[in-house]
Amino acid sequence: MKLATREVEGFVKRPRPDIRAVLLFGSDAGLIRERAKAIAKSACEDLNDPFRVATLTGAQLQDDPARLADEAAAMALTGGRRVVMISNAGDRNGKLFAGFFEDPAGDALIVVEAGELTARSSLRVAFEDSTIAVALGCYADDQRVLQGLAEDMVKEAGKKIAPEAMAYLLDNLGADRMITRGEIAKLLLYKGEDATPISLEDCEAVIGDSSTLFLDDAAFAAFGGDFNLLTDALTRCEGAGESPVAILRVAQKHGQKLHLAAAGRESGNRMDPQRLGVHWTRRDGFERQTKLWSSDRLMRALEILTDAELMAKSTGMPAAAACGDALLRIARAARVSR
């Protein structure tokens, strides 16, 4: 079954009792997870209850197809409706769900999380063609949705927000629902017991352009040789909907700043990081990185990034793979110099 866009939020808040299964798919992983939890809680408030909640993956269902019907028909020892939550589902599970909907077992609520699915996806079609299932697309929030989310969170906290502060939020919040909620929650925590409306200055003190920060984090992590931070930053960039090419270009700009600083140092002319456009919060980290890199090695690093961008644009190599490989090579080079 399909729902009109205007019906989605209402369904998430109060799912129809005749619906047995809900598929959540799309590009916004944070929104998928948020909606999955909300829908599941309509049947079982405590999602940590092992007697009423079963968690599976698409791969597990593929290996043991009978598991779907078994979990859906199982009775909770403590009473109440059971929930079956399935993550990382895909078209490999499409045929299984199509068969299940023809002869559904039990009465458990089945909540399925998937990634991007085309209109012809067998999994998506199985849910859309069934009268007891619903498929919900989850995509990056537009300005109207972002404003509604921000207004709701501010109101729930018993606070008000100035118009110019709201405008700043809409310009600087990321595209991922989970990240957006986290940023607004951080703003509310910062405001604390202050009863005055949230101001533009409050927003500027707490919230930056989250996607831009993630891009900068990836660049700093690579040139600093920090593998853990690099992995985390790339994951957050993906969640914020940033393209691999955008990540590579920010890394190139960072490498160019380091190259100017290194060349100046080698010629006896130290350059102030602030003059190079380095934010004051990253000044110490930037100066540490200048000690790891010579101008010659930075030229090689910039060549790696340029080659990766060309591969991402003109070859069959996935852009994300080209980007990740280039940044890992740079991180390894930085680590050797520590």
| pLDDT (0 to 100) of residue 46 | 92
Residue 204 has pLDDT above 70, yes or no: yes
Which of 186-190, 249-253, 271-275, 325-329 has the least mean pLDDT? 271-275
> Which residues share a beta bridge with 206?
none
- Cβ–Cβ under 8 Å, residues 39 and 151: no
pLDDT tens readout for residues 173-201 = 766 677 678 889 889 999 999 999 999 88
3-state secondary structure the chain: CCCCHHHHHHHHHCCCCCCCEEEEEECCHHHHHHHHHHHHHCCCCCCCCCCCEEEEEHHHHHHCCHHHHHHHHCCCCCCCCCEEEEEEECHHHHHHHHHHHHCCCCCCEEEEEECCCCCCCHHHHHHHHCCCEEEEEECCCCHHHHHHHHHHHHHHCCCCECHHHHHHHHHHCCCCHHHHHHHHHHHHHHHCCCCCCECHHHHHHHCCCHHHHHHHHHHHHHHHCCHHHHHHHHHHHHHCCCCHHHHHHHHHHHHHHHHHHHHHHHCCCCCCHHHHCCCHHHHHHHHHHHCCCCHHHHHHHHHHHHHHHHHHHHCCCCHHHHHHHHHHHHHHHHHHHC
pLDDT value, residue 176: 63
pLDDT tens per residue across span 106-153? 999 999 999 888 888 999 999 999 999 999 988 766 667 778 889 999
Domains defined for the chain, CATH in brackets: 5-138 (3.40.50.300), 143-206 (1.10.8), 210-337 (1.20.272.10)
Averaged confidence pLDDT in the chain? 87
| Over residues 85-101, mean pLDDT | 94
Quick check: 210 pLDDT over 60? no
Q: Give percent of the chain above pLDDT 70.
A: 93
Residue 104 has pLDDT above 90, yes or no: yes
The yes-or-no verdict on residue 271 having pLDDT over 90 is: no
Between 6 and 190, the higher pLDDT residue: 190
Give the model's pLDDT for residue 140: 65
Q: State residue 174's pLDDT score.
A: 61
- Select the more confidently predicted residue: 149 or 97: 97
